[in-house]
């Protein structure tokens, strides 16, 4: 954990707070306290691919939910999209596709609400270096109770949608290869419709908070952990944002197309992954550019940047406002992730509202099958970014190969760049590294809403320690949260 080199000292933040799972930041300072190196290490749990191997393919959409307690629905849907192709059922019935979309928008709504209201709002409302005793969700609850309640209820509403479409939280089985196993009953629909207007109001309010914060602080935050980058997502054939389905596209930092309209099944021809000896997590890159410069960002910022438009009216109006501040060129400001995320939150709520009024959700034609395949890829825009699931299945219906590229992996290089930039700007040369200064590094990481996929949370396993060592490896200071 601590590496001392001559005339250097290393600070370790482990694990990073208010991100999903386990992460560790190490910052190496020289004797003048200048940052020599700053890295985000992901303590990635390995072995999941092996866990799935040998299991019947139809179990995969349930098993993959075990990957992560935060975004099980995203894994459920990405896996089932691949399995749709395995059974030749990728052309879903309208009822099945709309039910899945409803589930997915519910997941996006609850995930974005949780992140913004409970993980990010303490930094925005109290300041990055405010007293840590109040800079947390309990502090938000005490000082801004209405806001905290809105966050809880938005998330809860998203969870209710998931429950109605996917079933139990632990054993969600709603989506099955080729379709869905149940529709949305009129009673379930009416229960959800009761609160949708309130959710719209709160979603608009959340978007306004994020937008106002970004615009009011733009001069301060535009350089915060920011850098030019490429952006990648799936999107609809006509260029619309589509969180559930679409073809792969990538643009560079100026908006020029790198590739577009790429069939999901061919992702391997366009994206590769690099291994670096200091991190368990791989570094994906665009093959045509190469590992050095081919890294890219995914997630809300990338999706708003790649979208030519959003097909819901209020989110589209918000997108136009968002793009206007960078003259309709891609926005490369890391802290703008929050504004983009809230545009997607409103988009998801609008979509939910539309779907709840669609009688197709009460249809009974739920499953299709076709020609069996032995290999398939499923890609979805998870709340945190593009999620790839790739499987091979043998003649005995067993999974023989599984490869996943999760959103946080794609954002690995960008997060590391953000950490380096913020550490150099805010920590270099400081005589004392305070908790508030270290939180600046965490703020940059949290902008990406990383999900570090470590769902083992049992009591007694989540300490946070920050340790400062001198050049000789002596412990100078240690703080525990």
Partner 1 sequence: MTAEGGDVLVIGFGNPGRIDDGLGPAVIEALEEVAIEGVDLDADYQLIVDDAADVSAHKVVVFVDADVTGPEPFYFRPVEPKHELGFSSHGCDPGQVMALAQELFQAKTKGYILGIRGYEFNEFREALSDKARANLAAATEFIVKVLRGRDFEAAAARMVAAETQSHGE
| Interface with partner 1 (CB under 8 A) | 17-21, 45, 47-48, 50-51, 63, 66-70, 72, 110, 114, 118-119, 132-133, 135-138, 141-142, 145, 148-149, 151-153, 155-156, 159-160, 163, 168-170, 454-462, 464, 481
Q: How far apart are CA 232 and CA 251, in angstroms?
A: 7
* Closer by beta carbon to partner 1, 96 or else 402: 402
Burial class (CB in 10 A: 0-12, 13-18, 19+), 459: exposed
* Closer by beta carbon to partner 1, 8 or else 141: 141
Q: Which regions of 271-344 does DSSP assign to beta strands (E)?
A: 271-274, 283-286, 296-297
Q: Cα-flanking dihedrals φ and ψ of residue 108, to 5°?
A: -65, -45
* Closer by beta carbon to partner 1, 93 or else 439: 439
Q: How far is CA 52 from CA 56, 128, 248, 395, in A?
A: 9, 41, 26, 16
In the complex, least distance from residue 59 CB atom to partner 1, rounded to whole angstroms: 10
In the complex, least distance from residue 187 CB atom to partner 1, rounded to whole angstroms: 13
Q: Which residues have C-beta within 8 Å of that of residue 329, sequence separation ≥ 6?
A: 254, 255, 323
In the complex, least distance from residue 276 CB atom to partner 1, rounded to whole angstroms: 23
* Closer by beta carbon to partner 1, 47 or else 431: 47
* Closer by beta carbon to partner 1, 160 or else 321: 160
* Closer by beta carbon to partner 1, 14 or else 97: 14
Q: Cα-flanking dihedrals φ and ψ of residue 456, to 5°?
A: -75, 110
DSSP string, 108-159: HHHHHHIIIIIIIHHHHHH-TTS-TTTSSHHHHHHH-HHHHHHHHHHHHHHH
Q: Outline where 335-454 has alpha helix (H).
A: 337-356, 407-410, 412-426, 435-446
* Closer by beta carbon to partner 1, 45 or else 58: 45
Q: How far apart are CA 39 and CA 43, in angstroms?
A: 13
In the complex, least distance from residue 250 CB atom to partner 1, rounded to whole angstroms: 30
Nearest residue to 342 (alpha-carbon basis) of 308, 303, 381, 311: 303
Tokens coding 38: 């700053």
In the complex, least distance from residue 34 CB atom to partner 1, rounded to whole angstroms: 30
Q: What is the DSSP letter of 310?
A: -
* Closer by beta carbon to partner 1, 169 or else 320: 169
In the complex, least distance from residue 383 CB atom to partner 1, rounded to whole angstroms: 13
In the complex, least distance from residue 419 CB atom to partner 1, rounded to whole angstroms: 18
* Closer by beta carbon to partner 1, 15 or else 177: 15
By residue count, the chain amounts to: 481
Tokens coding 57: 């393919």
In the complex, least distance from residue 256 CB atom to partner 1, rounded to whole angstroms: 37
Nearest residue to 362 (alpha-carbon basis) of 96, 91, 80: 96
b/e per residue 331-359 (b: at least 16 CB within 10 A): bbbbbbbbbbbbbbbbbbbbbbbebbebe
In the complex, least distance from residue 75 CB atom to partner 1, rounded to whole angstroms: 11
């Amino acid at each position: 954990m601590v590496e001392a080199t001559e005339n250097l000292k290393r600070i370790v933040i482990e694990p990073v707070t208010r991100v999903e799972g386990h992460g560790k930041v190490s910052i190496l300072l020289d004797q003048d306290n200048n940052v020599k190196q700053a890295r985000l290490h992901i303590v990635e749990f390995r072995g999941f691919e092996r866990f799935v191997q040998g299991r019947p393919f139809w179990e995969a959409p349930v098993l993959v939910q075990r990957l992560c307690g935060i975004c099980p629905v995203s894994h459920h849907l990405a896996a089932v999209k691949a399995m749709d192709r395995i059974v030749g059922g990728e052309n879903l019935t309208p009822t099945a596709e709309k039910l899945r979309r409803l589930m997915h928008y519910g997941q996006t709504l609850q995930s974005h609400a949780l992140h913004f209201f409970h993980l990010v709002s303490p930094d925005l409302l109290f300041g990055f270096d405010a007293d840590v005793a109040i800079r947390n969700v309990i502090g938000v609850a005490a000082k801004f109770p209405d806001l905290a309640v809105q966050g809880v209820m938005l998330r809860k509403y998203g969870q209710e949608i998931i429950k109605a479409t996917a079933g139990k939280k632990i054993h969600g089985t709603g989506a099955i290869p080729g379709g869905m196993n149940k529709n949305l009953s009129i009673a379930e629909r009416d229960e959800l419709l009761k609160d949708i207007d309130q959710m719209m109001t709160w979603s608009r309010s959340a978007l306004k908070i994020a937008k106002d914060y970004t615009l009011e602080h733009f001069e301060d935050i535009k350089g915060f952990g920011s850098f030019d980058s490429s952006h990648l997502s799936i999107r609809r054939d006509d260029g619309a944002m589509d969180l559930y389905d679409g073809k792969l596209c990538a643009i560079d930092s100026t908006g020029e197309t790198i590739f577009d309209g790429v069939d999901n099944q061919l992702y391997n021809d366009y994206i590769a992954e690099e291994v670096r000896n200091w991190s368990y997590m791989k570094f994906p890159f665009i093959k045509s550019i190469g590992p050095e410069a081919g890294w890219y960002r995914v997630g809300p910022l990338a999706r708003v940047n790649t979208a030519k438009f959003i097909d819901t009216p209020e989110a589209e109006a918000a997108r136009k406002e968002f793009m206007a501040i960078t003259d309709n060129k891609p926005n490369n400001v890391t802290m703008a992730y929050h504004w983009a995320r809230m545009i997607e939150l409103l988009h998801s709520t609008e979509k939910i509202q539309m779907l709840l009024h669609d009688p197709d959700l009460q249809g009974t034609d739920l499953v299709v099958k076709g020609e069996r395949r032995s290999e398939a890829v499923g890609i979805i825009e998870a709340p945190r970014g593009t999620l790839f699931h790739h499987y091979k299945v043998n003649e005995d219906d067993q999974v023989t190969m599984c490869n996943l590229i999760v959103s946080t992996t794609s954002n690995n290089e960008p997060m590391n760049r953000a950490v380096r930039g913020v550490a150099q700007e805010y920590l270099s040369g400081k005589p004392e590294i305070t908790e508030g200064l270290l939180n600046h590094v965490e703020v940059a990481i949290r902008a990406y809403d990383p999900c570090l996929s470590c769902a083992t949370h049992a009591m007694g396993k989540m300490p946070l320690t920050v340790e400062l060592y001198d050049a000789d490896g002596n412990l100078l200071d240690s703080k525990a949260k």
